[in-house]
Structure 1
Amino acid sequence: MVQAFDWYRAAAPAERRTFWGCFFGWALDSFDNQVLAFLLPTLMAAWHFSKSEAGLIATSSLLAAAVGGWISGILSDRHGRVRVLTGSIIWFTAFSVMAGFTNSYHQLLIVRALQGIGFGAEWAVGAALMAETINPKHRGRALGLVQSGFSVGWTLAAVVTGVLLARLPAGIAWRSAFWIGVIPALVVLLIRRYIPEPELFRKMKKETGGAIVATWRSSFRSDVRRASFLAALLVTGLQASSYALMIWLPTMLVQVRHMPVSTVAVMATMMSIGSFIGQVGFAYLNDAVGRRLSAIAVCLFSLFLTGCYLFVPLDAWVLAALGLPVGMGINGAFAGLGPMLSELFPTEIRATCMGFSYNVGKSLGALSVAAVGVVADRIGMVGSIAVFSFVGYSCALIALGFLPETRGLDLTRVASGNESYDHMNLLEQAGSSRR
């Protein structure tokens, strides 16, 4: 167990500060993003808006995050990782405070959409920053552990909103839940004040002299577009499967399996715990056996468990307990995205391409939420969840079949900025040389 943290003890002070800055930034992003989900029942009762209108708030924030993530990637390739990440924290925290002052559905809709622009920056830019700072031998576990911040933020959002709603009048409680995000935001900003731009990024800027400028077209550059679209397909598949199961599973268990709400709550808690365990475990697996093999194994593991969950007759408490390994699989897989995507693209456009691939994939994958509901009217809830889980993991496995192995890649080898070579072939050659 002690050896598991040898990489952290061996890390330089700048690497450690960068790790915690990215970890807490991602946890804060998750916290602010998830708070609304726990407050929606209270807000729906107070302002009398429908479920479809509630869904529109979540959808607008998600679409804004996709746009914001792509734009932030471009800006960070132009102006620096730390600067953009600091701006994103200030942006979405400011709009979180504004959300606490809203007095109507339409005000909240607009504020959350604007807040979503800031949400999109954290993942891609933070992953690029961490990848360019940490020792290549430890990149998988460091980035995977940063991803586990999502589960921490999710859990904190549930606890904080639960306590506030239980202890304060509803009209004050939901506003306080939005405002309280200022406290962790100040902590993150303090940490990031002492994080330098990665030496790799500064060296690239000096060598190119600003001749290479990231734009929205950079993700379609001839040497990287194949990697961009395969990465987007991978993210689409993982997100579609995760959304289909996480969003609709509680409804299926109540309406189809007739489980009591209390048991479903236990299942959701187990899934949350499993998510954290899975992300940490997958982080170490990434460095041990490689990006592709570990991702393929987790996809197959999740697909098998999903099938058991949906089609094998099991006792209610067994189903609740199975939430732990299900959470490990469907959310643990995301711990591998940061290392893999950061190693697919050259430094001068790394965050741009990561922002494009991740956010396009996230937006397309989110369509499965609505699609499950539509298809369920024809083939039933169980069959609908199964279809989109199978299609999602199939897309992810197809993408993994064509993506190269990049474990431990020296990122200086993919920072040439030369559009005349085939970037994917370079990655494959680098992988072959390490083997």
Structure 2
Amino acid sequence: MTAADPSPNVETAAIEDTSLLAFYRDMNLAERRTFWACAAGWALDGMDFMIYPLVIGTIIALWKVDPGFAGLAGTVTLLSSAVGGWLGGYLADRIGRVRTLQFTILWFSFFSLVCAIVQNFDQLLIARAVLGLGFGGEWAAGAVLMGEAIRPQYRGRAVGSVQSGWAVGWGLAVLAQAVLFSLMPAEIAWRWMFAVGALPALLVFYLRRYVTEPDIAAATRARQTQAGTHPPLWEIFSGPVLKTTILASLMATGMQGGYYAVTFWVPRFLTTERKLSIVSSTGYLSALIIGSFVGYLVGAWLADRIGRRNLFLIFSLGAIAVVLLYTQLPLTNEVLWILGFPLGFFASGYFSGMGAFLTELYPTRLRGSGQGFCYNFGRGIGALFPYLVGALSTTTTLANAIAIFAVAAYGVFFLTAFALPETRGRVLHADA
């Protein structure tokens, strides 16, 4: 049986209790420790990434950077994270999920601190690019670790609930912005924002003490070591797995391209076309973030309730509709604030099904490589969208630029999700 084979004799587990928190009530101590470690990792990962979009306006004003070129720093971070995710996933297959997670967290924490002391935009661009390697690798190792540590009937809800940590991290970044920009002049506050991004390094101490390697991953690596049959880095591009890799990579491109087109530029949209100050825009971003958090939790529940693919199809259409409302209608700021909730809900909730879905598409021996490559290939190509939106905004409104690229991306997401098989409840096994 191949990873891409959707035939009915794939072993699946019955999902009897479909309530959102059933997985947590039934967890043992080791599973709960893994859950909270990965949730914290996602939160701090999200905080670290969202710091730059929040300070981009200050960077543009301080160093007189063109908006398109400023967006390039976000693009470069995501492009390098694509490489880091593939390599991080491969390392997770070779040296273990937990060890790779520790290394990648230390990596991007250190380079966030470097971002705080750069002296010009070129240095910041380089620092963000190097940071991206660890940023991508952390997701790859953490997603595989969670997917393998949780039983199949709870996998969608558990991995999806961990994904909600991203919204928490985003909220922490916005809170840090509100506090630091209120207490300090902007030319100093943005540096402290990046310094706060070094906090994830503290999580490594918890990982080293409490989180253990999943049994099926350890067993698979032991068999490979004994037989001398470690899979090459490029095996995910061969045989029947190739179709899965292509479709999953395109799907990840659509879902992340749409997300970054929206979330990267909405803070700038609010402060320019909507004439809000950095501090007053916090309330609008809060509505967006709360919607994202609720979307992650609802998406986690739906991933096990209606399946991964149906979740993707419904949320991609919802995201298209809300993006068009948010950017194309002449709405008052009060209505725009209300629309922030559904925008965050639909633009984020589908991520809850992605980690479990990619985990279930690949066999254990290729899971880190396949999952790391597909998700971060999408992240890398989706990384072009902040730059393209910024570039297009020089010839049209920023609202139009966001809408064009977001709708195109969500369309790709819908079509590729439709072409891939449903994997809900698939049982994972150790293999050679």
TM band (smaller chain) = 0.7 to 0.9
What's the counterpart of residue 14 of structure 1?
A: 30
Mark the runs of 5 or more structure 2 residues left unpaired by the alignment: 1-17
Match of 2:183 among 145, 167, 177: 167
- 1:73 Cα shift? 0.7
Contact 2:274/2:333 (CA < 8 Å) preserved in 1? yes
Stretch moving more, 150-159 or 57-66: 57-66
Q: For residues 229 and 5 of structure 1, do their structure 2 counterparts lie closer, same or farther at Cα, with a shift above 3 Å needed?
A: same
Distance 2:353 2:107 in 1: 27
* TM-score, normalising length: structure 2: 0.86
Mapped pair 1:94 → 2:110: yes
What's the counterpart of residue 132 of structure 2?
A: 116
Deviations along 1:139-170, one digit per CA (max 9) or x if unpaired, are 00111111111111111112123312322455
What's the counterpart of residue 361 of structure 1?
A: 378
- 1:132 Cα shift? 0.5
What's the counterpart of residue 345 of structure 2?
A: 328
- 1:243 Cα shift? 2.6
What's the counterpart of residue 426 of structure 1?
A: none
Distance 1:165 1:383 in 2: 29
What's the counterpart of residue 313 of structure 2?
A: 296
Amino acid at match of 1:321: I
What's the counterpart of residue 156 of structure 1?
A: 172
Distance 2:390 2:120 in 1: 28
Amino acid at match of 1:332: G
Contact 2:54/2:267 (CA < 8 Å) preserved in 1? no
- 1:332 Cα shift? 1.1
Contact 1:38/1:158 (CA < 8 Å) preserved in 2? yes
Stretch moving more, 169-178 or 334-343: 169-178
Amino acid at match of 2:252: V
Alignment of 1:405-424 (within 5 A): 405-412=422-429, 416=431
What's the counterpart of residue 428 of structure 1?
A: none
* TM-score, normalising length: structure 1: 0.86
Q: Relative to total residues, which structure has the larger helix share, 1 or 2? A: 1
Mapped pair 1:223 → 2:240: yes
What's the counterpart of residue 276 of structure 2?
A: 261
- 1:260 Cα shift? 4.0
Distance 2:53 2:393 in 1: 23
What's the counterpart of residue 296 of structure 2?
A: 279
Deviations along 1:122-146, one digit per CA (max 9) or x if unpaired, are 2121110001001111100111111
- 1:392 Cα shift? 1.7
Distance 2:34 2:245 in 1: 26
Alignment of 1:63-212 (within 5 A): 63-168=79-184, 173-208=189-224, 209=226, 211-212=228-229
Distance 1:185 1:87 in 2: 10
Deviations along 1:69-90, one digit per CA (max 9) or x if unpaired, are 1111111111100000000111
Amino acid at match of 2:426: L
Contact 1:236/1:362 (CA < 8 Å) preserved in 2? yes
Amino acid at match of 2:276: V
- 1:215 Cα shift? 3.3
Amino acid at match of 2:158: A
What's the counterpart of residue 15 of structure 2?
A: none
Distance 1:56 1:388 in 2: 16
Match of 1:30 among 17, 39, 46: 46
What's the counterpart of residue 431 of structure 1?
A: none
Stretch moving more, 374-383 or 227-236: 374-383
Q: State percent identity of aligned pairs.
A: 40
Q: For residues 53 and 3 of structure 1, do their structure 2 counterparts lie closer, same or farther at Cα, with a shift above 3 Å needed?
A: closer
Deviations along 1:333-391, one digit per CA (max 9) or x if unpaired, are 11111011110001111111111111111122232334345556777655554443332
Distance 1:139 1:168 in 2: 44
Contact 2:364/2:428 (CA < 8 Å) preserved in 1? yes
Partner-residue secondary structure (3-state), 1:25: helix
Amino acid at match of 1:91: W
What's the counterpart of residue 351 of structure 1?
A: 368
What's the counterpart of residue 424 of structure 1?
A: none
Distance 1:369 1:301 in 2: 21
Distance 2:57 2:401 in 1: 26
Distance 1:102 1:253 in 2: 27
Amino acid at match of 1:60: V
Number of residue-to-residue matches in the alignment: 412
For the aligned residues, what is the CA RMSD?
A: 2.7
Match of 1:308 among 315, 325, 329: 325
Q: For residues 188 and 156 of structure 1, do their structure 2 counterparts lie closer, same or farther at Cα, with a shift above 3 Å needed?
A: farther
- 1:187 Cα shift? 3.5
Amino acid at match of 2:309: R
Distance 1:93 1:259 in 2: 34
- 1:10 Cα shift? 1.2
Distance 1:121 1:142 in 2: 20
Distance 1:247 1:153 in 2: 15
Distance 2:322 2:188 in 1: 42
Contact 2:290/2:344 (CA < 8 Å) preserved in 1? yes
- 1:248 Cα shift? 4.5
Contact 1:78/1:214 (CA < 8 Å) preserved in 2? no
Mark the runs of 5 or more structure 1 residues left unpaired by the alignment: 418-435
Deviations along 1:20-64, one digit per CA (max 9) or x if unpaired, are 111111111122222233334444555554434433332222221
Distance 1:23 1:124 in 2: 14
Distance 1:385 1:318 in 2: 19
Stretch moving more, 209-218 or 27-36: 209-218
By relative contact order (CA 8 Å, sep 6+), the higher-ranking structure is 2
What's the counterpart of residue 61 of structure 1?
A: 77
